[in-house]
């Protein structure tokens, strides 16, 4: 890793160039309370934001900790080379037109290579980068407005988008942002490497990463290990789920977007939680800052409205959250606090009998924050006409937090009805203020999910092999069988000798050399040996695979691995056979995945009910199913250099084993 300490906490900043962007650097630094020295560099000796410039870098006459380079892309190369020669601590390259812009600038790749050579080991953020704001040490290299204030501790956010970064600094949700970094093109210093540097500061409580694409997977695995070791949670906002977003990502950054299934599998592998929208991303960071990960996916809810109680219960449907029934102790304490006229339940509608009586509200709310509850939600929308009229609720929530020591969140169902000053007060008292019910439940669900970290790094997949060949089913099964994947007993023969086959039935007869045998009439099942020759008369091809038919299946699975250069080899498990495309029930993980992760993935399928025995039918031999999947992964590891994809569909799961009834392999 490069040493980023001088760059991120500079005592002297050189601003190279002229115009409004350079003046913005000075203004942004002053806004965060920067106490170091800023020296503009301009050959004409211009005055920039009230500061007299010097004509050259050498004219500064002092060590340069960090530089903001705001000249054209061609001139940037020489400036970087000079900064390195002067022993600078690092630079932010503002110019665009490098490898991220190959569609518009054909020489962008060559220029980026020159930039990397010029920088050597000197850290460089960008190019096409806005820089950073460090609210911990009151430093900023940032050419625009920002909304950050000095803090003693807080979360770090890294994004590849400068515009999103600006917007995030303007949040009004009382989230203490300690550091905001834009990563730009990541020509040299990647997002994971920057995050690792920030992770080593004990004042950083959580990491938020807006990711458009992954590069240098070894750095990402190192980041995950270090974050887990330090107990610092990470949440990601990953774009690229849509085809349009993937195209935009490739054109906007130098990273590969890859498949979204691969991205999700990589995030799961790294133990990095994923938010699907910016508000939930911010609320999750806020929750992580206050509480870290939650110890249970159990929630209780408190409101003075039956409508709100129903709303929060309905909003949790389909999430990995539950509302446990009240315990006997909770019911006793609630009855003592609320009297006989309130129906006791979770979620709780406590009516308004105790409203404005802070002591009574505290007594009524505290039983809901029992030790077995991961998070207690108090639903309160503050009136914008006079929010102080609801101070009783604010103080009651604070009291419950202090009395019980359990996580408590104050939730406004309408985001605009959580006043900023109230949110700040709650945060200072250890109560989580959340703007929006969906955002609250999304953040709680993320924070309560226990990551399953793998001890080994996933296989890194290089570019797709050139001219990959599709092996026929017999070749594919022979290869898989040699690595321990169970395959049916079978033989390959020409049409003329099918009449000589004596294998006991029932049998499957398949034409070889076809990618989609069933659609072409190349599969016939349930045959006896004497019927093979006649059955083949109207089937395509001259080579056939004859196999013992697999019987007694309770479920069919798809088990496939694809090569994803951006994320690794992606193992997909799902409903198999003819149901694969119809149901779309799949879960993806990375190769290699241990038995625990494979079993967890299988249990996430809707199809899992069939595997476990559905409506009185026998269950599949799950040990054999997992064995087959582990054997397929062993095949992938052995052929990682030239494997493009492998698929078993279906893997027929029986009470006594699991057999690959069909298989394909594409390899270079």
- Per-residue pLDDT at 412: 97
Cα separation of 567 and 261, whole Å? 9
pLDDT digits (tens, 9 = 90+) for 111-143: 999 999 999 999 999 999 999 999 999 999 999
- Per-residue pLDDT at 103: 72
Give residues with Cβ within 8 angstroms of 115, minimum separation 6: 76, 77, 80, 93, 98, 124, 127, 187, 188
- Per-residue pLDDT at 107: 86
Q: Report yes or no: 573 and 600 within 8 Å, Cβ to Cβ.
A: no
Q: Report yes or no: 653 and 482 within 8 Å, Cβ to Cβ.
A: no
DSSP structure class, residue 378 = E
Residues of the chain with CATH 3.30.470.20: 555-667
pLDDT digits (tens, 9 = 90+) for 391-408: 999 999 999 999 999 999
Domain 555-667's class? alpha beta
Superfamily (CATH H level) for 1-130:
NAD(P)-binding Rossmann-like Domain (3.40.50.720)
- Per-residue pLDDT at 251: 31
Helix (H) or strand (E) holding 199: helix 191-199
Closest CA to 127 of 149, 157, 95, 153: 95
Closest CA to 198 of 71, 8, 388, 52: 8
Cα separation of 445 and 433, whole Å? 16
Residues of the chain with CATH 3.40.50.261: 151-292, 293-448
- Crossing angle (nearest 10°) for helices 328-338 and 358-365: 160
Cα separation of 176 and 205, whole Å? 10
- Per-residue pLDDT at 240: 67
- Per-residue pLDDT at 249: 39
- Per-residue pLDDT at 456: 75
Q: Which residues of the chain have pLDDT under 70?
A: 240-258, 455, 578-581
CATH of range 151-292; options 3.90.550.10, 3.30.1280.10, 3.30.420.40, 3.40.50.261 = 3.40.50.261
- Per-residue pLDDT at 596: 92
- Per-residue pLDDT at 580: 66
CATH 3.30.1490 fits 490-548, yes or no: yes
Domain 293-448's class? alpha beta
DSSP structure class, residue 388 = G
């Amino acid at each position: 890793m490069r040493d980023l300490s001088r760059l991120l906490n500079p005592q002297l900043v050189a601003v190279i160039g002229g115009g409004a962007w350079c003046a913005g650097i000075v203004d942004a630094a002053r806004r965060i309370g920067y106490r170091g020295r800023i020296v503009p560099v301009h050959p004409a000796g211009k005055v920039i934001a009230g500061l007299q410039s010097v004509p050259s870098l050498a004219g500064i006459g002092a060590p340069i900790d960090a530089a903001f380079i705001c000249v054209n892309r061609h001139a940037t190369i020489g400036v970087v080379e000079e900064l390195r020669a002067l022993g600078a601590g690092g630079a932010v390259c503002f110019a665009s037109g490098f490898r991220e812009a190959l569609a518009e600038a054909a020489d962008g790749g060559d220029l980026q290579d020159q930039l990397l050579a010029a920088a050597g080991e000197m850290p460089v953020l960008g190019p096409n980068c806005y820089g950073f704001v460090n609210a911990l040490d009151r430093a900023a290299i940032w050419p625009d407005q920002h909304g950050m204030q000095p803090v003693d501790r807080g979360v770090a956010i890294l994004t590849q988008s400068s515009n999103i970064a600006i917007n995030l600094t303007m949040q009004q949700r009382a989230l203490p942002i300690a550091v905001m970094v834009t990563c730009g093109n990541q020509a040299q210093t990647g997002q994971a490497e920057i995050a690792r540097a920030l992770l080593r500061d004990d004042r950083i409580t959580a990491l938020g990463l807006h990711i458009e694409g992954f590069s240098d997977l070894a750095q990402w695995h190192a980041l995950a290990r270090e974050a887990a070791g330090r107990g610092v949670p990470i949440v990601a906002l990953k774009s690229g789920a849509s085809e349009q977003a993937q195209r935009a990502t490739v054109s906007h950054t130098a990273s590969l977007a890859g498949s979204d299934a691969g991205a999700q599998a990589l995030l799961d592998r790294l133990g990095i939680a994923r938010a699907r929208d910016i508000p939930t991303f911010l609320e999750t960071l806020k929750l992580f800052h206050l509480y870290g990960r939650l110890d249970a996916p159990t929630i209780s809810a408190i409101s003075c409205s039956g409508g709100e109680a129903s709303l929060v219960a309905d909003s949790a449907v389909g999430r990995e959250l539950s509302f446990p029934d009240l315990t006997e102790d909770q019911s006793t304490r609630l009855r003592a606090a609320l009297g006989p006229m309130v129906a006791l339940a979770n979620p709780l509608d406590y009516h308004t009998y105790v409203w404005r009586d802070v002591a009574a509200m505290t007594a009524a709310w505290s039983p809901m924050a029992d030790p077995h509850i991961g998070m207690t939600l108090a639903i309160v929308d503050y009136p914008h006409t006079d929010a102080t009229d609801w101070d009783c609720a604010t103080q009651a929530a604070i009291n419950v937090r202090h009395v019980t020591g359990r996580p408590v969140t104050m939730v406004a169902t309408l985001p605009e009805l959580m006043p900023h000053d109230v949110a700040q007060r709650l945060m200072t008292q250890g109560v989580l203020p959340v703007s929006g019910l969906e955002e609250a439940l999304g953040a709680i669900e993320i924070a309560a999910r226990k990551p399953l970290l793998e001890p080994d790094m996933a296989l890194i997949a290089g570019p797709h092999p050139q001219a990959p060949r599709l092996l026929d089913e017999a070749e594919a099964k022979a290869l898989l069988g040699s690595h321990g994947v169970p395959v049916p007993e079978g033989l390959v023969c020409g049409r003329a000798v099918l009449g000589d086959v004596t294998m006991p039935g029932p049998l499957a007869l398949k034409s070889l050399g076809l990618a989609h045998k069933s659609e072409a009439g190349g599969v016939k099942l349930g045959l006896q040996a004497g019927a093979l020759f006649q059955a083949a008369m109207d089937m395509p091809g001259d080579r056939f695979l004859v196999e013992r038919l697999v019987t007694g299946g309770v479920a069919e699975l798809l088990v496939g691995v694809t090569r994803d250069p951006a994320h690794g080899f992606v193992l997909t498990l799902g409903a198999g056979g003819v149901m694969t495309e119809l149901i779309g029930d799949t879960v993806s993980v990375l190769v290699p995945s241990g038995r625990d992760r494979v079993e967890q993935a299988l249990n996430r399928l809707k199809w899992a009910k069939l595997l476990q025995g559905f409506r009185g039918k026998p269950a599949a031999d799950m040990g054999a199913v997992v064995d087959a999947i582990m054997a397929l992964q062993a095949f992938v590891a052995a052929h990682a250099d030239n494997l493009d994809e492998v698929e078993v569909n279906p893997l027929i799961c029986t009470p006594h084993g699991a057999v690959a009834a069909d298989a394909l392999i594409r390899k270079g």
